[in-house]
């Protein structure tokens, strides 16, 4: 499965990056391809390209705040979870996406 | 023709008793009549009357004038101009400043808001935290107690007043002689100056004569009159000065009534004094052995009582209102002078909170104290001696109390001014030897007489000159006044037996001038040796570098001068051909101008080339921002007004000597003073400690056993190391984030974090817990470690944010967490965090 994800949290200091790391690790373990864009204190990093979005099977938002440039994902299947949830149970979330 | 000086009143607290008594004593050195005019309030006063000065209700910034009229008005005007410009603004600085008022909206720290006992709120008057048992003190006696006391015989009442004034003044003098610090001495001096005020005395006597009242009644009525004026001033700080008058009224009334006992409260054990109000004399009579803290119903933040408590380091909370009266005697009480709180009978959690606070304050204090007593040096250890400029023995005392490493300039003019003949050798010997004794082996540079047409001294008979600054002055008149100069040099030589004195000659332009002084010293030394009088045969004789031509003659001058000191004020005036007191041209006088810095560099290099020692004793040395620039010049010493010494040392300690030289090079390449100003500002900004984590922000054996305690402990680590400005407010910010969602993320680690204005430097603090505990009560999982991330609001520090992002990612790695949990010491943890990015 090809996944694109965006992580973001209110302060953008820590949880944004923790969630990104957890999702990347879990995807690798489960054999999924994932690209994670972080929207944190340092702005948008690892920005998803139009190509990434177009090719993705599913979009995952792990965010405690509204995701920026959301219109990029119009027409795609978007699943939203809290950033804490993404840190705590990344594998369960990814498995849930397959449904 | 009278002299008139226009000025803006420069003391932040307004013209209260202390600056008024200084102004009075400065003016009293001259015979001229002196009138103080406040152009805003429209009030005028005889400047020789402290009370009249105080009654002008002068506030900071008021447009004022000083009118001088009499035979020595020109000299008086010149001296007073200098006093108003240089000395008066500093009169408040030697005293501990009032703490910043807290915003009333500030929430209490968790430990206090969760406490089951009421927390009394007042005003923080003196910082620190005290714990002790309550002793109830007496309030102040009322000024008017209703009944009128008629007296039979006015002459008898006036005789009683005479005795009362005499005993009260004597008691104050005794107390002043035994004062514990400069602040006490200054305040007692102000009180003495009020008691010695002729206007107070004559008004009280008038009261007795015209109204036929008793002496105590006359004292109360007269002081009541002045208190009324202050109360109506509309200025809090002036209103609070009424306390001094009420204090003196109380002392006088007691003395008139023949009551010799002091109104004092007995203290035993660790005591917290609780009272409606406390007079300065009441404070001074308390047993400091037992006094831990003070809680007052009334009072403000600037009264002399709270200034005294600040100087003595006694925590004090004022303005508790009626709540103060309800505090029971003997109850265990916390006085929190940091927040303006009082907690009576604190429960254990509150006590634990305050124990941690006290420990933290002690850490912060010892960090600052080390700094005050440490020698001046750059970050890489190159010594730059930090000395003080003084004009009196009082100044010398203050200088060493402020951490001076020596006296870089002892101005002696004041010894010679306002008198009909020069001071005797013995009189001068007393002053110089006392200074040497106080210095205890540290150097004291005594500048010989620097008189001239601008500060005329009657017995020198200096003619009025068209241009006194370019005229007959200082060393230029030593030939004609050989006797006076020889007397001064003999006094300095004799005093050199008591310590490390040095002589410095002002306004030297030629080699011959220095030779002349040296020859005289040699001759005097031979005389003293022949008389069998002790002196230091190696007494160094140096010179001021304040005439631009001397800057280009230092090689030759160094053969005659043992050391140099740059007088940057005069040097800059002569260099720019601009009088810094002349508003029309003073903008041209700019010591930071690259042209002037080039001159300074030429001087320092030349002096060093000749193997000489060179300092700087002008006002230029006073600003801590400029200290790195001065260190870059390679100066051996900077001498400045005492109150700024710790700040200058701290600025030096933050900059490496190589960086200072690079800063100077950059400054020399600039085109204007404002550009250099901006450069030194940016440099100072960049010098704040930027390390994100340090040994002091990591604790491997945390004492906390709950989220509340852990967050406070983490915040305290950052506060104790100077990384956040306000622990309570930052704690609040952390809790706001924590309440949005718990930061325990399920891997045995909690990562509380916040971005807030209280953060000085983006930082990380870490605690390890043994045994682990649930972060939020009811959590299944426990945390073994908490990492607090504090991000600064103003400066985007990308490198730090990058590190934090990397650290956040690394923490998701089981192996990395384990290394953090098993690191043997703080240093290891610091290294692991710093390396998280790689």
- Check: CB of residue B703 under 8 Å from CB of residue B727: no
Nearest CA to CA, how far is B805 from chain A (Å)?
6
The verdict on whether B225 is a catalytic residue reads: no
Q: Given pLDDT bands bounded at 50, 70 and 90, which one contains residue B106?
A: low
| Single pTM value for the model | 0.70
Measured between CA atoms, the residue of chain A closest to residue B797 is: A42
Q: Is the interface score ipTM higher than 0.90? A: yes
Q: How far apart (Å, rounded) are the C-alpha atoms in residues B335 and B121?
A: 10
Q: What is the pLDDT of residues B549-570, one digit of tens each?
A: 999 999 999 999 999 999 999 9
**Annotated catalytic residue, options B64, B316, B481, B617:** B617
Percent of chain B at pLDDT exceeding 70: 95
Q: How close B435 comes to chain A (CA, Å)?
A: 57
Q: What is the DSSP string of B384-407?
A: -EEEEEESSHHHHHHHHHTT-SSE
Q: pLDDT at position A55, please? A: 95
Q: Give the span between the Cα atoms of B453 and B469, in whole angstroms.
A: 7
Please name the residue of chain B whose CA is at the shortest distance from the CA of residue A23.
Answer: B812
**Does the distance separating the beta carbons of B802 and A15 come in below 8 Å?**
no
Using a CB-CB distance cutoff of 8 angstroms, which residues of chain A are in contact with residue B739? none
In angstroms, the CA B118 to CA B113 distance is 9
Cβ neighbours of B783 in A, within 8 Å: none
Distant-in-sequence, close-in-space partners of B693: CB < 8 Å, separation ≥ 6: B763, B764, B765, B766, B830, B833, B834
Put simply, whether A93 touches B (Cβ < 8 Å) is: no
**CA pair distance B632, B655, nearest whole angstrom:** 10
Give the N- to C-terminal CA distance of chain B in Å, as an integer: 79
Residues of B in contact with A91 (CB under 8 A): none
CB contact under 8 A, A84 and B798: no
Nearest chain A residue to B791, by CA: A13
Position B219 scores a pLDDT of 93
The verdict on whether B290 is a catalytic residue reads no
The phi and psi torsions of B613 (rounded to 5 degrees) equal: -105, 135
What whole-number distance in Å separates Cα of residue B745 and Cα of residue B126?
Answer: 42
Within an 8 Å CB–CB cutoff, is residue A65 touching chain B?
Answer: no
Chain B residue numbers with beta carbons less than 8 Å from the beta carbon of A40 are 805
Q: Are the beta carbons of B755 and A22 separated by less than 8 Å?
A: no
Phi, psi (degrees; rounded to nearest 5) at B530: -65, -35
Residue B38 binned pLDDT confidence (cut-offs 50, 70, 90): very high
Beta-carbon contacts of B300 under 8 Å, excluding residues fewer than 6 positions away, are B123, B125, B236, B237, B239, B240, B306, B318, B319
Distance CA B90, CA B67 (A): 22
Q: What is the DSSP string of B466-506?
A: S-GGGSS-GGGGTTTTHHHHHHHHHHHHHHGGGS-EEEEES
Distance of alpha carbon B236 from the chain centroid: 22
Report pLDDT for B104: 44
Q: What confidence tens digit (pLDDT) does each residue in B610-635 have?
A: 999 999 998 899 888 999 999 999 99
Residue B188 CB contacts under 8 Å (≥ 6 apart), including other chains:
B172, B175, B176, B179, B284
For the CA atoms of chain A, what is the radius of gyration? 12
- Give the per-residue pLDDT at B105: 44
Q: Is A84 on the interface with B (CB under 8 A)?
A: yes
Q: Are A21 and B808 within 8 A, CB to CB?
A: yes
- Rounded Cα distance between B259 and B282, Å, is 15
Per DSSP bridges, beta strands B341-344 and B385-390 are unpaired
Q: Report the pLDDT value the prediction gives residue B576, as an integer from 0 to 100.
A: 96
- What pLDDT sits at residue B490? 98
Residues in chain B: 838
Q: Would an 8 Å CB–CB cutoff place A15 in contact with chain B?
A: yes
What is the sign, positive or negative, of the torsion defined by CA atoms of B648, B654, B657, B663?
Answer: negative
Average pLDDT, chain B: 89
3 state SS for B662-690? HHHHHHHCCCCHHHHHHHHHHHHHHCCCC
Structural contact between residues B652 and B621, judged by C-beta atoms closer than 8 angstroms: no
Q: What is the pLDDT of residue B101?
A: 56
- Calculate the alpha carbon distances from A97 to A5, A11, A24, A60, B134 in Å: 12, 27, 14, 8, 67
CB contact under 8 A, B741 and A22: no
Q: Specify whether the CB–CB gap between B29 and B81 falls below 8 A.
A: no
- Only one residue has tokens 């200084």, namely B22
Catalytic residue among B16, B191, B593, B800: B16
Distance separating alpha carbons of residues A57 and A41, to the nearest angstrom: 28
Mutation for testing the B interface, residue in A7, A8, A12, A13 having most B CBs under 10 Å:
A13
Task: Give residue-wise pLDDT tens across range B508-534.
Answer: 999 999 999 999 999 999 999 999 999
Tell me the H-state helices in B548-672: 554-557, 568-576, 594-609, 627-633, 645-653, 657-668
Query: Which of A5, A9, A60, A67 is the catalytic position?
Result: A9
**A41 vs B737, B746, B791: nearest CB:** B791
Greater confidence, B211 or B502? B502
- B755 contacts in A (CB within 8 Å)? 11, 13, 41
């Amino acid at each position: 499965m090809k996944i694109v994800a965006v992580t973001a949290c209110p302060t953008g200091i820590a949880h944004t990056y923790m969630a990104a790391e957890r999702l990347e690790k879990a995807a690798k373990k489960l054999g999924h391809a994932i690209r994670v864009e972080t929207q944190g204190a340092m702005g948008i990093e690892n920005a998803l390209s139009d190509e990434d979005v177009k090719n993705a099977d599913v979009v995952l938002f792990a965010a405690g705040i509204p995701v920026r440039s959301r219109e990029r994902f119009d027409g795609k299947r978007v699943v939203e979870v809290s950033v804490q949830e993404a840190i705590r149970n990344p594998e369960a979330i990814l498995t849930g996406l397959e449904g | 023709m009278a002299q008139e000086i226009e000025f803006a009143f420069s003391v932040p607290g307004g013209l209260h008793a202390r600056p008024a008594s200084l102004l009075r004593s400065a003016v009293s050195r001259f015979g001229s009549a002196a009138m103080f005019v406040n152009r805003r309030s429209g009030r005028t006063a005889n400047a020789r009357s402290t009370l009249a000065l105080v009654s002008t209700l002068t506030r900071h910034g008021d447009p004022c004038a000083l009118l001088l009229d009499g035979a020595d008005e020109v000299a008086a005007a010149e001296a007073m101009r200098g006093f108003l410009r240089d000395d008066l603004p500093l009169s408040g600085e030697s005293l501990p400043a009032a703490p910043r008022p807290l915003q009333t909206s500030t929430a209490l720290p968790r430990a206090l808001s969760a406490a089951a006992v009421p927390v009394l709120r007042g005003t923080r008057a003196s910082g620190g935290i005290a714990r002790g048992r309550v002793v109830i003190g007496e309030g102040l006696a009322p000024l008017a107690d209703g009944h009128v006391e008629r007296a039979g015989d006015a002459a008898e009442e006036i005789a009683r007043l005479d005795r009362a004034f005499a005993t009260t003044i004597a008691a104050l003098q005794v107390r002043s002689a035994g004062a514990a610090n400069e602040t006490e001495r200054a305040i007692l001096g102000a009180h003495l100056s009020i008691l010695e005020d002729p206007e107070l005395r004559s008004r009280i006597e008038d009261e007795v004569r015209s109204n036929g009242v008793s002496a105590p009644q006359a004292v109360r009525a007269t002081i009541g009159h002045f208190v009324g004026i202050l109360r109506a001033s509309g200025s809090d700080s002036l209103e609070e000065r009424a306390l001094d008058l009420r204090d003196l009224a109380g002392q006088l009334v007691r003395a008139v009534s023949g009551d010799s006992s002091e109104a004092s409260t007995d203290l035993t054990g660790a005591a917290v004094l609780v009272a409606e109000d406390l007079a300065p004399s009441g404070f001074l009579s308390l047993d400091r052995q037992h006094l831990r803290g003070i809680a007052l119903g009334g009072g403000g933040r600037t009264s002399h009582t709270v200034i005294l408590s600040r100087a003595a380091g006694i925590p004090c909370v004022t303005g508790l209102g009626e709540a103060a009266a309800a505090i029971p005697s003997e109850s265990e009480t916390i006085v929190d002078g940091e927040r303006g709180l009082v907690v009576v009978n604190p429960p254990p959690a509150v006590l634990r909170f305050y124990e941690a606070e006290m420990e933290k304050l002690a850490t912060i204090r010892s960090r600052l104290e080390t700094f005050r007593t440490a020698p001046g040096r750059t970050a890489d250890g190159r010594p730059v001696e930090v000395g003080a400029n003084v004009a009196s023995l009082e100044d010398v005392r203050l200088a060493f109390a402020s951490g001076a490493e020596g006296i870089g300039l002892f101005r002696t003019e004041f010894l010679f001014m306002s008198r009909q003949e020069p001071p005797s050798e013995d009189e001068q010997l007393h002053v110089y030897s006392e200074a040497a004794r106080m210095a205890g082996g540290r150097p004291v540079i005594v500048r010989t007489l620097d008189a001239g047409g601008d500060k005329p001294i009657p017995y020198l008979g200096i003619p009025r000159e068209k241009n006194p600054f370019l005229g007959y002055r200082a060393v230029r008149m030593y030939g004609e006044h050989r006797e006076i100069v020889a007397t001064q040099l003999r006094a300095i030589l004799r005093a050199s037996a008591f310590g490390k004195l040095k002589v410095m000659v002002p306004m030297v332009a030629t080699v011959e001038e220095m030779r002349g002084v040296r020859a005289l010293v040699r001759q005097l030394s031979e005389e003293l040796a022949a008389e069998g009088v002790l002196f230091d045969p190696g007494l160094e004789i140096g010179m001021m570098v304040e005439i631009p031509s001397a800057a280009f003659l230092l090689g030759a001058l160094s053969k005659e001068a043992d050391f140099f000191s740059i007088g940057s004020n005069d040097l800059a005036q002569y260099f720019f051909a601009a009088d810094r007191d002349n508003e029309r041209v003073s903008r041209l006088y700019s010591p930071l101008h690259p042209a002037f810095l080039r001159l300074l560099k030429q001087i320092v290099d030349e002096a060093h080339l000749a193997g000489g020692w060179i300092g700087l004793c002008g006002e230029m040395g006073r600003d801590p921002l400029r200290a790195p620039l001065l260190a870059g010049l390679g100066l051996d010493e900077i001498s400045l007004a005492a109150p700024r010494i710790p700040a200058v040392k701290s600025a030096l300690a933050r900059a490496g000597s190589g960086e200072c030289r690079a800063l100077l090079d950059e400054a020399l390449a600039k085109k204007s003073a404002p550009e250099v100003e901006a450069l030194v500002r940016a440099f100072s900004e960049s010098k704040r400690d930027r390390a994100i984590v340090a040994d002091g922000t990591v604790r491997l054996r945390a004492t906390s056993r709950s989220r509340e305690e852990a967050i406070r402990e983490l915040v305290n680590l950052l506060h104790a190391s100077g990384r956040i400005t306000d622990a309570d407010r930052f704690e609040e910010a952390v809790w706001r984030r924590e309440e949005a969602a718990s930061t325990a993320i399920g891997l045995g680690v909690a990562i509380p974090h916040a971005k807030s204005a209280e953060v000085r430097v983006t930082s990380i603090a870490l605690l390890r817990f043994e045994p682990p505990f649930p972060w939020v009560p009811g959590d299944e999982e426990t945390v073994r470690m908490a990492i607090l991330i504090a991000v600064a609001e103003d400066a985007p520090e990308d490198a730090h944010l990058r590190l934090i992002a990397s650290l956040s990612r690394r923490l998701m790695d089981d192996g990395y967490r384990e290394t953090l949990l098993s690191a043997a010491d703080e240093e290891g943890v610091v290294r692991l965090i710093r390396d998280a990015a790689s």
